[in-house]
């Protein structure tokens, strides 16, 4: 089975570059599945290239060899929750 490299770039809360990691996945995997896999790794603090139990980072996901590659920036669960709360507060919900 052919494999593709998923490239991950990690950023601190302020947007400063921190590190990189990668893993391989099958060529036929849809991009949304790859994003979901990385989000699961991010939320469980098990990202490639970082120590298990690492701090929260923004993760840029890029799969250059994928036919439908669209890089995505994923946020940790705690940041997503804070962003939703802030949005609801500003909207008066």
How confident is residue 93, by pLDDT bands cut at 50, 70 and 90? low
Which position has the higher pLDDT, 60 or 79?
60
DSSP letter at 66? S
How confident is residue 88, by pLDDT bands cut at 50, 70 and 90? confident
The structure's pTM equals 0.85
Best CA proximity match to 6, nearest among 18, 83, 20, 46: 20
- Summarised one tens digit per residue, pLDDT across range 3-31 is 999 999 999 999 999 999 999 999 889 99
Domain ranges across the chain? 3-91
- Summarised one tens digit per residue, pLDDT across range 39-67 is 999 999 999 999 988 889 999 999 999 99
Q: Are 56 and 78 in contact (CB under 8 A)?
A: yes
Rounded CA-CA distance 30/91 in Å is 34
């Amino acid at each position: 089975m052919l494999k593709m490299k998923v490239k991950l770039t990690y950023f601190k809360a302020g947007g400063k570059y921190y590190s990189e990691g990668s893993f391989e996945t099958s060529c036929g995997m849809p991009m949304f599945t790859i994003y979901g896999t990385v989000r699961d790794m991010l939320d469980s603090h098990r990202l490639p290239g970082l120590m298990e139990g690492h701090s929260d980072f923004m993760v840029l996901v890029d799969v250059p060899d994928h036919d439908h590659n669209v890089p995505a920036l994923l946020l940790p669960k705690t940041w997503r929750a804070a962003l939703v709360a802030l949005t609801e507060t500003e909207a008066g919900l």
